[in-house]
Amino acid sequence: MGEATIKDIAKASGVSISTVSRVINGNYPVSREARERVEEAMQKLDYRPNAIARSLRNQKTNLAALVVADLSNPFFMEIAKGLEEEMAGIGCQLVIASSGGSVQKERELLDTLIEKRIDGLVIASSDNEGGHIKTCIEAGIPVVLVDRSIEGIHTSQILWDDEKYSYQLTKLFIDNGHKDIGIVNVTLTNPNGKWRLEGFRRALREAGIPEKPEFISSSNFSSDEACYFVTQMMAAKNRPTAIFCANNIMLQGTLQALRNLGLRIYDDVSVAVFGNPECNRYISPAVTAAGQDTLKMGQMAGELLKNLISKEENREKTMILKSEILMGGSIRRIG
Amino acid sequence: MGEATIKDIAKASGVSISTVSRVINGNYPVSREARERVEEAMQKLDYRPNAIARSLRNQKTNLAALVVADLSNPFFMEIAKGLEEEMAGIGCQLVIASSGGSVQKERELLDTLIEKRIDGLVIASSDNEGGHIKTCIEAGIPVVLVDRSIEGIHTSQILWDDEKYSYQLTKLFIDNGHKDIGIVNVTLTNPNGKWRLEGFRRALREAGIPEKPEFISSSNFSSDEACYFVTQMMAAKNRPTAIFCANNIMLQGTLQALRNLGLRIYDDVSVAVFGNPECNRYISPAVTAAGQDTLKMGQMAGELLKNLISKEENREKTMILKSEILMGGSIRRIG
DNA sequence: CATCCGATAGAAAACGTTTTCTATATATAT
DNA sequence: ATATATATAGAAAACGTTTTCTATCGGATG
């Protein structure tokens, strides 16, 4: 049993535990003879330093946490992947926790993460209040916000340029002759939802197209709700000729609805999405999108977090990631 | 700063640290008066117990680890989701680590996880040797193997009935008149690969159909390699009329290849997969599959792990999860 | 009245490290 | 020969808890 402690090694090799520790860490001079005896003993007893004890002494756990709403959303998983990659560089492993979108659950998660004394936190928060995140910061935990900013929280952030690319996609519809455009949005309490709607609106406004409330989904977040909304919207006698989806999940629901209704992309309705359409791997025409480099977002989050942890660059930093308009064949020229 | 320790609380409330500890844990009698003073102090100083110190003392970290090859594979993420859900029940959070399929990396990960003294490990190992996993077990860490068993490792496992369902899918092809059937398999050193090929072979054998080596992919694991293999295979003048994919990633590569070649599922080639076809959300005909309930696999893994941790059921257990044949429209009747 | 018991609470040991402080021996400089 | 570095290594404190071991005080029991 890997139960050997530093004390056992000391005894086995006839030196003090201080000396053993110095051999392990290599940060103080130890005679060759002693070192060899210690190393031999460690080998023989299959010694493994206890990271818990180390953490207690060093005030450092080598653990970072990622808190998201849903583990199975590819969007978050790409972030996780990038983050893990990046943190591995400083020997930091990743605790992943999901809130299922529940504010209550998220707060509980943060509480136990604080108690666990994680070295850093990356969070795509579902909590618009931000009180608990402030608590983390006050507890001395470096925090990086991803995907969603929170009013009143000052720390490193990495976001998308929601307004700009929503505007561009909407304008793309308009330039192709569309006037009746629906938007399948996430909740407006979420800042993404707010800004993606803003961009959508600006494009309409600039083109002099009046908004139609029945074409604007008010507040959903699940694929199912999106599906329901689109089904309703497309069943009405005045239906849009184009649909803008605010993220990949909204697109999923939208496609589901269109399939159920027997409507084809391009032929029957034009579609665009803010985010990465997983479907493009499978269907054609591909859905035109404002593609997000989520892997990079994870990596950048890791970089920002490392900066905060090392205090090298203590000033918090806000990064706005650019999207790239990926032209698919899902927008039909009409009129 | 959440820097208050139990000592500070003791001082602030005029009792000993023992008493504070007893208030926190509620496992020993404390006078009402003392309790109230302590609770007040904890409130005022925003005290948060240090989980590290607790772990050191209690020999328990409330951390379980999940080690997989690729974080962004939906297959593993569903497992993660189920596992997280289940472990939350005993206040255990999840460290997630990915090896990228590298044996070397996996071993390093396990080493640091042992040092971190995690309470349990769930792993879909890429290492056929199993030496490091044995080390974990010897170090006293409960281990549950998922998706892949390892020869010589005795611990709880939860697997699929690879041979049986591969046989069934292949037989489905045969029953529909197919004789030239390709298999896009993962590496044979992986037990899944081995058994999925076995099932495939048995079906052919029973039907008296000779195997064609050029229809059997030898050893790939990435979607890209699968794509390459299928492209080659389908470009030859004698090409199969049906393709069996050994998992979701192999299917991805296969579909990619078919798209590139302009071949349509059903019309030009029949397809089936062992696993969950993410594509079925988007395309039709849906791909016929031996569906895996990966969420459940994660939950079961959590349950088995909890059993091992609590020692309630110390005997290791092997579970074989059934698949469900999901009839899509991807198999054409021919001949 | 002596004894014992239950309720309460403090002191101290323990968990396994790292690091400061101190001590010794040897080598170098005066 | 004496003072002074230098290399090496042990003792002990510290990190923040939990729990065992003791101790005190009242009251109940003989």
Query: Over the stretch A77-94, which tens digit does the pLDDT of each residue have?
Result: 999 999 999 999 999 999
Q: Do A94 and B91 touch (CB under 8 A)?
A: no
C1' (D12) to CA (A58) span, angstroms: 18
Distance CA B180, CA B2 (A): 68
Does residue B167 carry a pLDDT above 50? yes
Of A52, A93, A95, the CB nearest to B52: A52
Q: Which two tokens stand for residue B274?
A: 């062992």
Q: Edge to edge, what strands does the sheet with B288-291 contain? A: B181-184, B242-245, B270-274, B288-291, B324-326
Taking alpha carbons only, the member of B269, B301, B296 closest to residue B285 is B269
C1' (C15) to CA (B278) span, angstroms: 48
B70 contact residues in A (CB cutoff 8 A): 81
- Residue A313 is predicted with a pLDDT of 64
Q: Is the distance between the Cβ of A56 and the closest atom of strand C smaller than 7 Å?
A: yes
Rounded mean pLDDT of chain B?
95
Q: Do B95 and A97 touch (CB under 8 A)?
A: no
C1' (D4) to CA (A173) span, angstroms: 85
Residue A96 confidence class, pLDDT cut points 50, 70, 90: very high
Q: Is the distance between the Cβ of B325 and the closest atom of strand C smaller than 7 Å?
A: no
C1' (D19) to CA (B56) span, angstroms: 13
Which residue is it, tokens 């020692």?
B311
Does residue B329 carry a pLDDT above 70? yes
Distance CA B329, CA B34 (A): 71
> DSSP states of B90-155 as a string?
TT-EEEEEE-TT-HHHHHHHHHHHHHTT-SEEEE----SS-HHHHHHHHTT--EEEES---TT--S
Tens digit of pLDDT for each residue in A114-169? 999 999 999 999 999 999 999 999 999 999 999 999 999 999 999 999 999 999 99
- Range of lowest pLDDT (B3-7, B82-86, B160-164, B299-303): B3-7
Tens digit of pLDDT for each residue in B128-142? 999 999 999 999 999
Distance CA A198, CA A205 (A): 10
Q: What's the Cα-to-Cα distance from A278 to each of A65, B175, B274, B287, B289, rounded to whole Å?
A: 26, 33, 20, 17, 20
Tens digit of pLDDT for each residue in A249-295? 999 999 999 999 999 999 999 999 999 999 999 999 999 999 999 99
Residue B315 confidence class, pLDDT cut points 50, 70, 90: confident
C1' (D22) to CA (A53) span, angstroms: 29
Higher pLDDT, A224 or B312: A224
Distance CA A45, CA A200 (A): 66
Q: Do A84 and B96 touch (CB under 8 A)?
A: yes
Of A48, A80, A256, the CB nearest to B114: A48
Q: Which two tokens stand for residue A335?
A: 């009129």
DSSP strand E in B189-268: where? 242-245
Q: How far off is chain B from A206, nearest CA to CA, in Å?
A: 34
Q: Do B139 and A55 touch (CB under 8 A)?
A: no
User: Cβ of A57 under 8 Å from any chain B Cβ?
Assistant: no
Q: Measuring from the CA of residue B28 to each C1' atom, give the nucleotide at the shortest distance.
A: C8
Q: Do A72 and B81 touch (CB under 8 A)?
A: yes
Residue B1 confidence class, pLDDT cut points 50, 70, 90: very low
Distance CA B124, CA B106 (A): 10
Pairing of strands B156-160, A63-68: unpaired
pLDDT average, residue stretch B264-279:
97
Does residue B124 carry a pLDDT above 60? yes
pLDDT average, residue stretch A53-57:
98
Q: With the CA atoms of B246, B247, B252 and B253 taken in that order, what torsion angle do they form, in degrees rounded to the nearest 10? A: -40
CA angle A75, B279, A300 (to 5 degrees): 20
- Residue B95 is predicted with a pLDDT of 98
The single-letter code of the amino acid at B320 is I
Does residue A2 carry a pLDDT above 60? no
Element (H, E) at B166: helix B162-175
- Residue A3 is predicted with a pLDDT of 83
User: Cβ of B103 under 8 Å from any chain A Cβ?
Assistant: no
% pLDDT > 90, chain A: 94
Does residue A312 carry a pLDDT above 90? no
Residue B221 confidence class, pLDDT cut points 50, 70, 90: confident
pLDDT average, residue stretch A161-180:
98
Which residue is it, tokens 């049993």?
A1
C1' (C6) to CA (A222) span, angstroms: 59
Cis amide prior to B191 (ω within 30 degrees): no
Of B71, B278, B284, the CB nearest to A80: B71
Please report the residues numbered 226 through 255 in chain B whose beta carbons come closer than 8 angstroms to any beta carbon of chain A. Answer: 252, 255
Is pTM beyond 0.75 here? Answer: yes
Secondary structure class of A288 (helix, strand, coil): strand
Does residue A182 carry a pLDDT above 60? yes
Which residue is it, tokens 């949005």?
A185
Does residue B313 carry a pLDDT above 70? no
Q: Select from B5, B47, B52 the residue whose CB has the most chain A CBs within 10 Å, as the one to mutate to test that interface.
A: B52
pLDDT average, residue stretch B132-153:
95
> DSSP states of B61-85 as a string?
--EEEEEES-TT-HHHHHHHHHHHH
- Residue A219 is predicted with a pLDDT of 67
Helix crossing, B294-310 with B74-88: angle to 10°?
A: 40
Q: What's the Cα-to-Cα distance from B61 to each of A278, B157, B237, rounded to whole Å?
A: 37, 23, 60
Number of A to B CB contacts under 8 A, please give it: 136
Kindly give, in sequence order, each residue whose CB lies less than 8 Å from that of residue A84, ignoring residues fewer than 6 positions away: A93, A94, A298, B71, B96, B97, B98
Element (H, E) at B164: helix B162-175
Does residue B71 carry a pLDDT above 80? yes
- Residue A1 is predicted with a pLDDT of 46
Does residue B120 carry a pLDDT above 70? yes
Which residue is it, tokens 């080390």?
B135
Q: How far off is chain B from A136, nearest CA to CA, in Å?
A: 9
User: Cβ of B98 under 8 Å from any chain A Cβ?
Assistant: yes
Q: Do B56 and A56 touch (CB under 8 A)?
A: yes
Higher pLDDT, B218 or B327: B327
